């Protein structure tokens, strides 16, 4: 069992996601990867479906992990993890290995989890494999040069959702809500939570809870992307905090089928404060921003928070 | 000592998987290979086989599960048919690229359309260049034996490649044949436990499948090329040893049937060769100089052995049980491979392609008689009038 980390100062000093990669300055996914690896510790195997955390980490036939890592296709992180888990179960039972059962963690982007990877993810959870699946959400296909994914917010610019006279808001669809899809309909699910790189202690402890759960655990991590969202590289953590404080992202755990907030701002700030720092929203008109505010209010209501920010 | 039973190709394969003491099996239903998995599921439920039996979410998931399991050090088994085989296409290259000796049984089946369940080699042949060992069994006994031999070949440290153990849907997978199921102790002697040096183990961290810069890629591909080329020697050794231990001696590359002094021959692979043998025997009784060359291993393709076997005939009819629309010669991949093997011999050997048995249709005795008739005419004329014939429409 991995113990709770009581304070950020008491976090392990050992690093398992180490220098030697070429992620962008201020990369949110890389920051959260470091925290996840730190929390998980040395008895861990990472599965890396294609995405930024594959390409930018392993570009030169090596990688920044001090623990084993294997590539998966963008399609099949859940299935590859299932196979590793099944292999360890069988080999331990049949005395074909003297290894301890490892932490098996999939680190998938939003494409590899909410979009092309959702079939393998859902199947792994249905089958009840003892794995932790982390979806780090940078809200786009960033590795291919910023294209829309199902979790790209309404109104965001991407190279597949450019704003123009005919489509003034850029992306017209509301994003898919992956943790809610995962929370219901997978009877073997043992743990589910959302987290953000801007709340590192909360993130690390949720990783540990997921790994202790002895079954399928799902962690959905908000991971701002300076390049894809067009904000300065030193603002990643600030943007992450603002997402939570404006209600655009909610931090919760699923406990006995109910959403339990793990952090609630004293007062929610208007969504406009979050989007004004990001170039991907710079084309939005007041009526679009209003729609985003409605979206945030709706998501907050779904996890039990009565709306406190008026729609302008 | 082994036991003799009358079982289908599916059940024979399942028995081989059990004898191989496989650790992780991943299933998904599609006819006709499904029978292998139902038999394995029964063996696991009855306590005859200790393995994780994972229900894949599709064939892509199946191949992904065994990719992970093999990388973690387990001996793995999966299988499919028809569109299931092509649905998993993305994962074949990563499996051979990471040098994971996964085994996949393919009980072949036509693709859609026509959507019937019939046997046809198109599905498995679509995957022929993915760096997997591949060959066809013509009987249930051979299906069992190939399964054991393929694990041994693929897991050899000089090879480390996955294997497609193919058998024709229904004609082999569902028709009963007498099968000698070998003794477990003998199998253990022939097939030691799988040991790989690059496994996912936190005590020895390794990074498997890292991305490479373009200039680093060709070296890795060259290694995969060397592996499948190097497998030729191992394939021969393993067939030899198999014969010594189990008493069944298979030709590793091509099985020749009544080819002594033959002037014309059919070249083909799979279960339809059994029908062809009957026709060859009957024609021999009538004094005709005909024979059959059956290909046993398709990948790596035995260019030298096929050249040696076929170059002694005046005319060779190549039977393709697959569709390859627009291919050179207008027939199938077996014709092009055979012609490549014969390249440089000029007009010495004439080749004619025959596409037959599509969608699970029989290639009838009558059709084989007609093929031999054409081959005799070609041999006499010294050249073929046409490149190929589609059965039954053009013959």
pLDDT reported for residue B310: 98
The Cα A121–Cα A114 span in angstroms is 9
Interface A:B, Cβ pairs < 8 A: 168
Determine the structural domain holding residue A49 and report its residue range. Answer: 12-302
Mean pLDDT of chain A: 96
Contact B102, B67 (CB under 8 A): yes
User: A119 — contact with chain B (CB < 8 Å)?
Assistant: yes
Q: What mean pLDDT do residues B174-203 have?
A: 95
pLDDT reported for residue B115: 85
pLDDT in tens, B306-347: 999 999 999 999 999 999 999 999 999 999 999 999 998 988
Contact B311, B351 (CB under 8 A): no
Residue A130 lies in a domain: yes
pLDDT in tens, B57-78: 999 999 999 999 999 999 999 9
Q: What is the ipTM for the molecules in this complex? A: 0.97
The Cα A153–Cα A156 span in angstroms is 6
Residue that finishes a domain, picked among B246, B262, B281: B246
Reported as a pLDDT band with limits 50, 70 and 90, residue B197 is confident
Reported as a pLDDT band with limits 50, 70 and 90, residue B212 is confident
Mean pLDDT of chain B: 97
What are φ and ψ of residue A141, in 5° steps?
A: -80, 90
What does DSSP say about strands B133-137 and B163-168: parallel, antiparallel, or unpaired?
A: parallel
Contacts with B, A 99-118, CB within 8 Å:
99, 102
Reported as a pLDDT band with limits 50, 70 and 90, residue B196 is confident
Claim to verify: residue B367 and residue B285 sit in the same structural domain: yes
Claim to verify: residue B189 and residue B315 sit in the same structural domain: no
Residue B325 lies in a domain: yes
The Cα B252–Cα B257 span in angstroms is 14
The Cα B53–Cα B77 span in angstroms is 10
Token pair 């590795």 is found at A143
Residue B196 class from Cβ within 10 Å (0-12 exposed, 13-18 middle, 19+ buried)?
middle
The Cα A126–Cα B81 span in angstroms is 25
Claim to verify: residue B265 and residue B230 sit in the same structural domain: no
Residue A4 lies in a domain: no
Domain count, chain A: 1
> Which of B55, B205, B214, B218 to substitute to test the interface with A, most A CBs within 10 Å?
B205
Claim to verify: residue B204 and residue B294 sit in the same structural domain: no
By three-state DSSP, how is residue B354 classified?
strand
B2 pLDDT higher than 90: no
Task: List beta partners, residue A261.
Answer: A252
Residue A285 lies in a domain: yes
Residue B280 lies in a domain: yes
pLDDT in tens, B154-170: 999 999 999 999 999 99
The Cα A25–Cα A56 span in angstroms is 12
Claim to verify: residue B161 and residue B218 sit in the same structural domain: yes
Q: Which residue from B71, B203, B205 is facing A84, i.e. has the nearest CB?
A: B71
Claim to verify: residue B189 and residue B268 sit in the same structural domain: no
User: A86 — contact with chain B (CB < 8 Å)?
Assistant: yes
pLDDT reported for residue B1: 67
Q: Which residue from A55, A83, A94 is facing B211, i.e. has the nearest CB?
A: A55
User: B215 — contact with chain A (CB < 8 Å)?
Assistant: no
Which DSSP symbol is given to B322?
Answer: S
User: A95 — contact with chain B (CB < 8 Å)?
Assistant: no
User: B185 — contact with chain A (CB < 8 Å)?
Assistant: no
Residue that finishes a domain, picked among B196, B224, B246: B246
CATH of the domain at B139: 3.40.50.970
Claim to verify: residue B242 and residue B261 sit in the same structural domain: no
Cβ contact (<8 Å) for A83 and B68?
Answer: yes
Residue B395 lies in a domain: no
CATH of the domain at B341: 3.40.50.920
Q: Which residue from A85, A91, A127 is facing B55, i.e. has the nearest CB?
A: A127
B266 pLDDT higher than 90: yes
Residues in chain B: 395
B208 pLDDT higher than 70: yes
Claim to verify: residue B370 and residue B240 sit in the same structural domain: no
Cβ contact (<8 Å) for A86 and B91?
Answer: no
pLDDT reported for residue A59: 84
Contact B105, B163 (CB under 8 A): no
Determine the structural domain holding residue B357 and report its residue range. Answer: 254-390
Q: What mean pLDDT do residues B212-239 have?
A: 95
Claim to verify: residue B297 and residue B238 sit in the same structural domain: no
Claim to verify: residue B224 and residue B258 sit in the same structural domain: no
Q: Which residue from A69, A86, A99 is facing B24, i.e. has the nearest CB?
A: A86
pLDDT reported for residue A305: 85
Q: Structure pTM? A: 0.97
pLDDT in tens, A104-163: 999 999 999 999 999 999 999 999 999 999 999 999 999 999 999 999 999 999 999 999
pLDDT reported for residue A308: 63
Cβ contact (<8 Å) for A87 and B73?
Answer: yes
Claim to verify: residue B196 and residue B264 sit in the same structural domain: no
Low-confidence ranges of chain A (pLDDT < 50): none
Which DSSP symbol is given to B299?
Answer: E
Task: Give, in order, the Cα–Cα distances in Å from B330 to each of B105, B335, B337, B377.
Answer: 28, 9, 13, 20
CATH of the domain at A26: 3.40.50.970
pLDDT in tens, B76-124: 999 999 999 999 999 999 999 999 999 999 999 999 999 888 999 999 9
pLDDT reported for residue A312: 55
Contacts with B, A 195-224, CB within 8 Å:
none
* DSSP structure string for chain A: -PPPP-SGGGS----SB-S---PPTT-HHHHHHHHHHHHH-SSEEEEEESSHHHHTTSTTS--SBSS-EEEE-TT-HHHHHHHHHHHHHHHHHTTS--PPPPEEEEEE-HHHHHSTTHHHHHHHHHHT-S-EEEEEE-SSBTTTTSB--TTSPTT---TTS---SSSTTS--SPPP-HHHHHHSS-TT--EEEEEETTSHHHHHHHHHHHHHTSS-EEEEEE---HHHHT--GGGHHHHHHHHHHTTSS-EEEEETTEEEEEE--SSPPPHHHHHTT-GGGTT--HHHHHHHHHHHHHHHHHTT----S---
Residue that finishes a domain, picked among B246, B267, B300: B246
User: B90 — contact with chain A (CB < 8 Å)?
Assistant: yes
């Amino acid at each position: 069992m991995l113990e709770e980390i009581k304070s950020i100062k008491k976090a392990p000093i050992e690093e398992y996601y180490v220098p030697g990669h070429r992620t962008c300055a201020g990369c949110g996914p890389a920051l959260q990867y470091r925290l996840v690896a730190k929390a998980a510790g040395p008895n861990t195997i990472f599965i890396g479906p294609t995405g930024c955390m594959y390409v930018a980490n392993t570009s030169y036939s090596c990688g920044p992990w001090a623990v084993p890592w294997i590539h998966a296709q963008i399609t099949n992180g859940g299935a590859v993890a299932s196979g590793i888990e099944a292999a360890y179960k069988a080999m331990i039972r049949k005395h074909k290995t003297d290894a301890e059962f490892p932490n098996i963690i999939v680190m998938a982007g939003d494409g590899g989890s909410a979009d092309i990877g959702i079939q393998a993810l859902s199947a792994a959870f249905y089958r009840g494999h003892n794995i932790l699946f982390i979806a780090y959400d940078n809200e786009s296909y960033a590795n291919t040069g910023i294209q829309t994914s199902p979790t790209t917010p309404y109104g965001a610019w991407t190279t597949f959702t450019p704003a123009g006279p005919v489509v003034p808001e850029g992306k017209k669809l509301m994003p898919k809500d992956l943790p809610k899809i995962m929370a219901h309909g997978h009877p073997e699910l043992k743990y589910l939570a959302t987290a953000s790189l801007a709340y590192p202690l909360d993130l690390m402890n949720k990783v540990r809870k997921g790994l202790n759960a002895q079954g399928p655990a799902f962690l959905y991590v908000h991971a701002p992307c300076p390049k894809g969202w067009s904000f300065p590289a030193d603002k990643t953590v600030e943007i992450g905090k603002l997402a939570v404080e404006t209600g655009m992202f909610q931090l919760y755990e699923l406990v006995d089928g109910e959403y339990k907030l793990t952090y609630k701002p004293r007062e929610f700030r208007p969504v406009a404060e979050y989007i004004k720092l990001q170039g991907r929203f710079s084309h939005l008109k007041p009526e679009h921003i209003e729609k985003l505010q409605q979206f945030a209010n709706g998501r907050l209501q779904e996890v039990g928070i009565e709306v406190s920010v008026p729609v302008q | 000592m082994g036991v003799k039973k009358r079982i289908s190709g599916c059940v024979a394969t399942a028995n081989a998987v059990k004898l191989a003491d496989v650790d992780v099996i991943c299933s998904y239903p599609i006819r006709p290979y499904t029978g292998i998995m139902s038999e394995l599921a029964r063996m696991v439920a009855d306590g005859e086989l200790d393995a994780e039996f994972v229900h894949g979410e599709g064939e892509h998931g199946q191949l992904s599960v065994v990719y992970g399991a093999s990388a973690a050090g387990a001996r793995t088994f999966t299988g499919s048919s028809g569109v299931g085989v092509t649905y998993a296409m993305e994962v074949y290259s990563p499996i051979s690229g990471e040098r994971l000796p996964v085994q996949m049984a393919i009980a072949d089946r036509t693709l859609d359309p026509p959507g019937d369940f019939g046997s046809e080699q198109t599905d498995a042949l679509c995957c022929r260049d993915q760096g997997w060992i591949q060959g066809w069994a013509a009987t249930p006994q051979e299906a069992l034996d190939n399964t054991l031999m393929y694990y041994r070949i693929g897991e050899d440290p000089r090879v480390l490649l996955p294997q497609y153990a193919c058998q024709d849907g229904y004609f082999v997978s569902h028709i009963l044949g007498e099968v000698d199921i070998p003794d477990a102790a003998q199998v253990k002697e022939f097939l030691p436990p799988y040991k790989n040096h690059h496994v996912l183990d936190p005590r020895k961290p390794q990074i498997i499948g890292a991305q490479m810069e373009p200039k680093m890629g060709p070296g890795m591909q060259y290694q995969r090329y060397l592996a499948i080329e190097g497998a030729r020697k191992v394939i021969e050794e393993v067939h030899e040893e198999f014969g010594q231990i189990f008493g069944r001696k298979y030709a590793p590359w091509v099985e020749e049937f009544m080819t002594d002094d033959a002037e014309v021959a059919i070249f083909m692979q799979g279960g339809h060769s059994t029908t062809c043998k009957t026709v060859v025997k009957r024609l021999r009784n009538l004094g005709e100089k005909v024979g059959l060359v059956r290909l046993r291993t398709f990948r790596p393709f035995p260019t030298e052995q096929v050249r040696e076997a076929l170059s002694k005939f005046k005319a060779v009819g190549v039977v393709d049980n697959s569709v390859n629309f627009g291919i050179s010669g207008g027939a199938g991949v077996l014709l092009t491979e055979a012609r490549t093997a014969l390249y440089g011999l000029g007009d010495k050997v004439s080749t004619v392609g025959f596409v037959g048995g599509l969608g699970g249709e029989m290639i009838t005795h009558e059709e084989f008689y007609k093929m031999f008739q054409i081959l005799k005419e070609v041999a006499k004329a010294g050249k073929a009038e046409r490149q190929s014939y589609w059965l039954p429409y053009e013959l």
